[in-house]
Amino acid sequence: MDVSSGTFSQAVEAIRDEIQRPFTVVLIGETGTGKTSLLNSLFDLDYPISDNRPCTEDPNIFDKKIGDSTLRFIDLPGYGEVSEIDSSRMKMWKEYLQSADIIVMTTYSISRSIDKDLSWIKEIYSEKFPKNMLIAATHSDRLMVRDGWMISLSGETVITQPTQAIKELIQRKKDFFQERIINFSTTSTPVIFCSSTSGFGLLDLTKEIYQRIPSESRLAFSTILTDTEKIGVIPRSVAPDFVSCLYLDAKEKRIIFDSTKFK
């Protein structure tokens, strides 16, 4: 089949435009689930956050450019404040979410149900359900069972690792979340348990995003989305701010573990 020079040039131009088009990752979820904290932790940013009130009133947009490729993260204001505010933001949410390449929906890891979040997403999509969504179960270090987390110091880095009991709890919660997702979607939706505080699971989240980037742009972002030396790493210098733990043996009247010693 003959292809004219004009047709070939148009095809090349279309490919170039696709490569140069920002690949967009949109973060959405209920207010307070840690969307902005997640973005700050991934790229060492300082968007305002608060532990007692909503902070994001307008989208936070962060572009990571490498060569001709752009990876764009959009942190949207959360839902669930009051119905009047939610109604005023509905048009904005729809515009950003329906044009997103990837949607990262944040939910509390300690939650026993995600049906409210899934119903809200479905409403945005007019009874459809997005096939390009990931679920980030945030604040995972708040999951507590006996012998739950191991916190240690390795050189200038604080390492937080789940014990087997925590791993089993996370798997049970993942299984339950998937059971609920089936009621909304026939498409597999990955669920990643993570924490912007301890760094747990952040590498897994970025790898899920990386796998969905078009192959022509993937190489450019491999160093920033799969870097085991940087993603999810908590420096020793800020450990007292992130890991505030003190365990005492009341019977022996001695300190078993004191995270402030990490500074």
pLDDT per residue of the chain (263 residues) written in tens, 0 to 9: 555 666 645 544 544 555 567 999 999 999 889 899 898 888 888 775 656 566 567 888 999 888 888 999 999 998 887 888 888 888 999 999 989 999 999 999 998 889 999 998 888 877 678 889 999 999 998 898 887 888 888 888 888 899 999 999 999 999 999 999 998 887 789 999 999 988 999 999 999 999 998 887 888 888 888 888 888 888 888 777 666 677 888 888 888 888 777 77
Of the candidates 91, 84, 78, 69, the residue with the CA atom closest to the CA atom of residue 30: 78
Map out the domains of the chain with their CATH numbers.
5-146+163-231 (3.40.50.300)
CA within 13 Å, CB half, 164: 0
**CA pair distance 37, 72, nearest whole angstrom:** 16
Q: What is the reported pLDDT for 8? A: 46
Q: What's 79's DSSP letter?
A: B
Q: What is the reported pLDDT for 16? A: 56
Pairing, β 102-108 against β 157-162: unpaired
Question: And the tokens for 129?
Answer: 């359900």
The single-letter code of the amino acid at 93 is W
Q: What is the reported pLDDT for 50? A: 59
- Cα-based distances in Å from 111 to 33, 98, 168, 234: 11, 26, 16, 25
Pairing, β 133-138 against β 191-193: parallel
- 3 forms beta bridges with none
Q: Which ranges of the chain does DSSP label H, i.e. alpha helix? A: 5-20, 35-43, 83-98, 115-124, 164-182, 202-211, 215-225, 239-242
**CA pair distance 242, 164, nearest whole angstrom:** 23
Residue with tokens 């995003």: 209
Burial class (CB in 10 A: 0-12, 13-18, 19+), 103: buried
**CA pair distance 160, 150, nearest whole angstrom:** 6
- Cα-based distances in Å from 98 to 82, 93, 128, 161, 199: 23, 8, 11, 36, 29
| 157 φ, ψ (degrees, to nearest 5) | -130, 140
